[in-house]
Amino acid sequence: MTRRLMAAGGVLALSAGILTATSTQAAAQDEDDVDRLLVATDQEVDTFNPFKSRYVITYNTNMMTYDTLIRTGADDYQPVPGLATEWEESDDGLTWTFTVREGVTWSDGEPLTAEDVAYTYDLLISNPAIHDWNIDFAGNLVSAEAPDETTFVLTLKEAAPAEILNAGVFIVPKHVWETYPDPSADDANDQLPLVGSGPFQVSEYRTDEFVRLSANKDYWDGAPAFDEVVYDYYSEGDAAVAALEAGEVDIVNGLNPAQAEALGEQDHITVNNAQGRRFVSLILNHGAQTADRELYGDGHPALRDPVVRQALHTAIDKQELVDKVLAGNGDPAVSIIPAIFEQWHWDGGDELVQFSLDEANRMLDEAGYERGEDGVRTMPGGGERLSFRFYYHADNTDYANVVEYVTEWWSEIGIETVPEPIEQGSLNDLVYLGEYDIAFSGWGVGPNPTEMLAMHTCAVLPTTTDGSERSHENFYCNEEYDALHAQQMVEPDPDARAELVKEQQRILYEDAPVIWLYYQNVLEAYNHDKVTDLRTQPAEGGMITGQQGFAWAYLSATPVEGSGDEGGVSTGVLIGAGAVVVVLIAGGVLLFMRRRSTADERE
Amino acid sequence: MTAHRPSADGSPDRDPSAEQAPAAGTRTAPTGRVTTGFGRYLLKHVSGAAVSLLLVLFSSFFIFRLIAGDPIDQLTRERPVTPEQREAMRAELGLDQPMWNQFLDYITGTLTGDLGTSLQFRRPISELVLERLPATLLLAGTGVVLAVLLGFWIGTRAGWKQGSRFDRAHVTTGLLLYSAPTFWLGMIAILVFARYLGLFPVNGMRSPSTPDEFLPQALDIGHHLVLPVLTYTAVVYAGYLMVMRSSILDEVGADYLTTARAKGLRDDAVRRRHAVPNALLPTITLVFLAIGGIVNGAIVTETVFSWPGLGSLFVSSIFYPDRPMLQALFVLFSSSTIVAVLGAEILYWFIDPRIRKS
């Protein structure tokens, strides 16, 4: 009897603790009238130093904390005014003059002037560590000057209009940064709250718990409606989904189709199925080579033949992949620049490869790849069988599904594949060593196409064969392509530039060192009972998270009226907790009495 | 003993540390002469532990070189960089140094207390570890204490009345939970108690909306702690239950218990005052191992619940791969186990007269 009581007491003690905690929590939330936008994240913070950070999460906190001279537009990724109201390029393209917006203040109240802008750009030029870390952009800068409070003049070594318009250099406050002993240190900018001129500033950070950003109520482009944006950590996607359903987090991204579908059935949740910036591709080992054109690695010789690569391409039904693997959440890919960047995307035109196993078979027959007894083709003249190693990322179920389909199609054109799931790190090692035949790859593309296109130029080929130089995508080198690349980088007229960029894409498409499979949609969801007016980028079918050049969605986001938490519960819980405590005390007394009695018994 | 190690939490890194420690720590230097006292006994075990520590220190550098992957790939994922930029990054992170230099830096650094810089967080490792340690101690510590108490309490009763309904019910339940994947159990707990009943937060250690004062923070952390601790305890307590049960079974038929009963003591008292103290003896190593394992954290539990502890830090470091961090954590995990086992050995000297006489 008493033992039962002890057990009951234990259980009650536990529940009492839990209930008290719950009720206190509810009470605390009731008192809290801060409008807080909670965004789920799973990425650690590398550094709050905007010149050094490379991660997506810090890119986002930088975009909110600071401003750039020129923003990337919300509607169509076009450059629009930011801190600079106007800009002008000299005839030779080497001198840029910006008019800096007047009346802007830092979040600590100090005025922002062209001095701050010049100081920021000068760090990129004259601070060696910052210069090296950002060498792709900083290497082209000569000087940064502020002749007066509203004028900023930047001079370049070579004309590079696209680079300047898409620079995304976060302007930092001179009066704060001057006090840093080493502005290039990863921990230089760790004094919170950060001082910036953007709509929200990082104000609190707890490693792998949350990053809090507080609104800049004096923001020059209008005060944000939310008081805070908080990045909250969820290391498991399913947990983030559960939290969104339970109302503990307001925005979740990176959903899989099943999660998106389940969330779509919830009354308080809107799923945003947005066109993505990401492509998934197959890279073919067309001959791993060094900058001196020395072949290395052990790629299959048949893949050096463009006909084989094109036949492989022809034998992939991309629409089927989108329908079956992505459950329709994507688009068949054509070239390296995804369709979301309308201005730069090349759509294939008349040359668009149509899925046809017959056509692929015909191409291979004509080129002399005859089928052996087992149905697998051999090299012309009866050499090696066309059997390709097919590497995919072991943690990616989409890729595993793609492999199933592709293997089946290719087997029908007499090509054997040997699929092998490999952990990401090892897969990269093998690719850069040239020790693969076919492997998966995928990139998120930014608004400036130069970055992606540059990965296929001769200039980034490795100088050694040890696989340590990894700036190239797939050992590609083509002088015609390189010439177009150099031309498009200096072309000031956007339309003329677009023509050049499209021609580059056409060459890559025809040569087929890479087969682009699909552009993946971004699946994200938010609680529309708590947040509304999230501006997407681009305007039509665009995304909320993963915006480029400026965090439009968080500036426009508005709390829904009367979305406060459910009050009243706490009182009930408190009464319950009180009852539990009473029972607990009674149990304790009983227990004590029992102890006394056994003690008596023993004596 | 290792067979009962309660590591159903599925932490592969525990295996090397837990098994290496006792193997190297207890079987060294047979003296060949009759042990003459505590000093000698102590010296033998401390030196054994020291040798193990050195082995751990040296091997951890090489073990994590086996994980493939270039950390720069992670840093530049999704955003292409030029070769010069990669070079600058390699130089700053010290990745361009020859392996031998990196090894020397690591040894001298670790011995002087400088654990280096994490590649993924780009902050001093010692700072990150100290920041995470309390979270891990809280979760795994509470979990271990609960699991040991619950396991021993049920194990004692189950063993005492072997074959009873209590015994069968608890052994079945315990083993069922023991064999459940932590990840799955954790997700179920989240769905039921957080998502549908709304009693607890889904995950994390504290809510960003909690005021930054002691009491609200403490309550909030306690509130967040419940689900992970219950999940962790549910999965591991059966290990202690089974050991305690079999340990009690060994004592049940012993003569001294008959004597105790003959004195007229009630069954309860016989069990509590006579059987349990003797049955606890073999479980001490187990308990110490568990204490040593607390710093490892509950790796899977921490991951499911986004608990900011050392276990989840270890997991994210493997995926990076953040080798300096992995090295440091491996040394920390291993040495805490080695020290705990040493503690158990020393304790045995005092509580088990047989050791003193052998």
Question: Which tokens belong to B192?
Answer: 């039921």
Closest chain B residue to the Cα of A135, Cα to Cα: B85
Contacts of A208 in chain B (CB under 8 A): 306, 308, 312-313
In a domain, B87, yes or no: no
- CB contacts of B228 in chain A (<8 Å) are none
Whether A20 sits inside 8 A of B219 (CB atoms) is: yes
Both tokens of A189, joined, read 């900018």
Whole-model pTM? 0.84
Q: What's the pLDDT tens digit per position in A60-108?
A: 999 999 999 999 999 999 999 999 999 999 999 999 999 999 999 999 9
Determine the pLDDT at residue A574.
46
pLDDT band at A1 (very low <50, low <70, confident <90, very high): very low
Chain A touched by B204 (CB under 8 Å):
yes
Count CA atoms within 13 Å of residue A287 on its CB side: 16
The count of structural domains within chain B is 1
- Asked whether the predicted pLDDT for residue B21 surpasses 80, the reply is no
Query: Domain for residue B77, yes or no?
Result: no
Closest partner residue to A25 (CB to CB) among B79, B219, B313 is: B219
Tokens representing residue B295 in the block: 């710093």
The tens digit of pLDDT for each residue in B85-103 reads 788 888 877 788 888 888 8
pLDDT at position A18: 56
Q: Is residue B246 part of a domain?
A: yes
Say how far apart CA A217 and CA A527 lie, in whole Å. 24
The identity of residue B90, as a single letter, is: R
Q: Is B331 domain-assigned?
A: yes
Best mutation target, B130, B161, B209, to test chain A (most A CBs within 10 A): B209
Residues of A in contact with B203 (CB under 8 A): 234-236, 239, 243
**Lowest-pLDDT range of A77-86, A224-233, B349-358:** B349-358
- CB neighbour class for B30 (10 Å; exposed up to 12, middle 13-18, buried from 19): exposed
Contact with chain A for residue B233, Cβ under 8 A: no
Q: Is B68 on the interface with A (CB under 8 A)?
A: yes
**What average pLDDT does the segment A576-593 reach?**
54
Average of pLDDT values for B203-222? Answer: 89
Tell me the CATH number at B326. Answer: 1.10.3720.10
**Better-scored residue on pLDDT, B237 or A3:** B237
User: What mean pLDDT, rounded, does chain A reach?
Assistant: 88
The runs of H, that is alpha helices, within chain B are 14-26, 38-63, 71-75, 83-93, 99-111, 125-136, 142-160, 165-179, 182-189, 214-252, 255-262, 267-269, 276-280, 284-293, 299-304, 310-319, 323-351, 353-357
User: pLDDT tens across A303-325, in order?
Assistant: 999 999 999 999 999 999 999 99
Report the gap between the CA of A237 and the closest CA in chain B (Å).
Answer: 10
pLDDT above 60 for A13: no
> Which pLDDT score, from 0 to 100, does residue B5 have?
38
pLDDT, average across residues A200-228: 94
Amino acid, res. B69: G
User: For B68-82, what is each residue's pLDDT tens digit?
Assistant: 777 787 777 666 777
Closest residue in A to B315 (Cα–Cα): A235
Assess if residue B215 is contained within a domain. yes
Which residue range forms the structural domain that includes residue B213? 33-68+115-357
Burial class (CB in 10 A: 0-12, 13-18, 19+), B91: middle
pLDDT at B97: 82
pLDDT > 50? residue A565: no
Distance from CA of A116 to the nearest CA of B (A): 25
Q: Provide the terminal-to-terminal Cα distance of chain A, rounded to the nearest Å.
A: 23
> Lowest mean pLDDT: which of A16-20, A191-195, A400-404, B337-341?
A16-20
A235 contact residues in B (CB cutoff 8 A): 203, 303-304, 306, 312, 316
Asked if A423 lies within 8 A of B68 by C-beta distance, the reply is: yes
Is there a contact between B79 and A451 if contact means CB atoms under 8 Å apart? yes
The Cα of B276 is separated from the nearest Cα of chain A by a number of Å equal to: 18
The answer as to whether B97 is a domain residue is no
d(CA B148, CA B158): 15
B89–chain A nearest CA distance, Å: 6
| Residues 266-305 in B contacting A (C-alpha not used; CB under 8 Å) | 303-305
**B341 within a domain of the structure (yes/no):** yes
Task: For residue B174, tell me if it sits in a domain.
Answer: yes
- Other beta carbons less than 10 A from residue A215's beta carbon: 24
Q: Is A580 a residue whose pLDDT tops 60?
A: no
User: How many angstroms separate the CA of residue B317 from the nearest CA in chain A?
Assistant: 11
Kindly tell me the burial class for residue B163, based on how many C-beta atoms sit within 10 Å of its own C-beta (0-12, 13-18, 19 or more): exposed
Mutate to test the interface with A, among B78, B170, B215, B227 (most CBs of A within 10 A): B78
**A121-166, pLDDT tens digit by residue?**
999 999 988 998 888 889 899 999 999 999 999 999 999 898 899 8
pLDDT computed for residue B63 by the predictor: 84
Q: Looking at chain A, which residue has its C-alpha nearest residue B83?
A: A471
Distance from CA of A359 to the nearest CA of B (A): 35
Strand A387-393 versus strand A438-444 pairing type? parallel
- Among A15, A20, A235, the residue to mutate for chain B (most B Cβ within 10 A): A235
Write out chain A residues lying below 8 Å of B68, CB-based.
423, 425-426, 429
Which position has the token pair 């008596």?
A: A600
